[in-house]
Amino acid sequence: MQFHSEVAPRTCVDIHTLEAVALAATRSAAVASYAWVGRYDQEAADAAATKAMREALAEAPGRGTVVIGEGEKDDAPMLFNGEIVGNGNGPDFDIAVDPLEGTSFCAKDLPGALATIAFGEPGTLWSPGPGFYMDKIVVPPQARDVIDLDDPPERTLVNVAKALGKKVSELRVVIMDKPRHKELITRVLQAGAAVQTPAGGDVGGSLAVLLPTLDVDLLLGVGGTPEGVMTAAAVGALGGGMLGRLAPQRAAEADAIRAAGMSLGRVYNCAELVSGDAFFVATGISGGSLLGRPRECAGMTTAESLLISRGEIRYITHTTFG
């Protein structure tokens, strides 16, 4: 697979080159924000991660467009929708980005903070415009054909359990611990499933569904659209199932979505959120079951990353000196 430019053929770039750029970007963001782990300063941590990622992306061979970023949603200083990155000497590509997924985890030194990014060919990544939040279901490949975002959670649990060859009581469900999910969590528990309720980090929760080493069966609830698009890149690469629908949390957001001519009722499947070749990368910041935190020893810094691309999951440890 190659990302092509409309100019001379010499500007075609092998996907491995862009994977290396993505890994460098998330590693840089992770190491920069790690200095702020446990310092209770979310803004400083986010700014450090964003600055480092932007500087790394500036070296990318080509012209990248931030199709979906965190700038508008979190009032972040950089990497906003429509921003251009790269050195221009190569193909066009699109990116979805969250330099610091789980800012509160980083600030409070809790496990789960990640630096994340997804790359895709131009036009591959869906842009939600002014929609910042999305209702989502994420499931493993075996259950991708049995989910419906309009189903009540009880029916979803029954259908997913059957597809996975389990009882509902054996399911483990990730739902973020937010006031908006109080009823959903109650209903899932009453149906008999177990619930994991992280304070945030729905990318990490979705990855837990997809990775065979982690004991999670599905993710439910409302999270960010940047996280949704990045999640879809990983889900699509691994053959999982995902559905999403814009879920504005404020009247102004809903009005902006309608003004942009977008539907609040449309359900998007994974192939619509990411419609072509794409890959996903994450690097650990505050540690946890998914990826460890950066480690410094004897003048060396080691970071742990995850690359999901073309049906493969690769764990990569990278050490820098100085």
Q: Which residues are annotated as a binding site?
A: 46, 70, 98, 101, 227
Q: Cα separation of 37 and 106, whole Å?
A: 5
Between 182-191 and 153-164, two packed helices, what is the crossing angle to 10 degrees? 50
- Dihedral angle over CA of 31, 32, 37, 41, nearest 10: -170
Count, in order, helices (H) and strands (E) of the chain.
9, 16
Mark the binding-site residues for Mn(2+), compressed into ranges.
46, 70, 98, 101, 227
CA angle, 119 as apex, 17 and 237 as ends, to 5°?
100
Q: 3-state class of 229 per DSSP?
A: helix
Q: How far is CA 239 from the centre of its chain?
A: 16
CA distances from 185 to 182, 229, 260 (A): 5, 24, 32
Taking the CA atoms of 183, 257, 136 and 40 in sequence, report the sign of the dihedral they define.
Answer: negative
